[in-house]
Amino acid sequence: MPWNCLENLSLPFLKILKVKHVLTDNLTGLIENTSGTLIEISITWRICHSKINYKKIIQAIYQ
């Protein structure tokens, strides 16, 4: 499934986000487009990602 559709998806009222096996860039775009309404995020990956990817996700959460 092409995950790039998530990058520009706007979900301004989303409060809980649970994802599995989503690429970092797509995930950060989705988090940024929630307008700061998230109260819970759960991320599951098949493989361990680099510290750079974790940093991108954390930055998206705190923007």
pTM above 0.85, yes or no: no
Domain of residue 47, residue span: 11-61
For residue 24, the surrounding DSSP H or E stretch is helix 24-32
Q: Taking phi first (over 0 means left), then psi (-120 to 50 degrees means alpha), and beta for anything else, what does residue 31 get?
A: alpha
Q: Is the dihedral of CA 7, 10, 11, 12 positive or negative?
A: positive
Residue 6 domain-assigned (yes or no) = no
Residue 1 domain-assigned (yes or no) = no
Number of domains in the chain: 1
Residue 24 domain-assigned (yes or no) = yes
Residues 23-38: pLDDT tens digits?
A: 888 888 889 888 889 9
Residue 38 domain-assigned (yes or no) = yes
Please state, for a pLDDT cut of 70, what percent of the chain lies above it.
Answer: 89
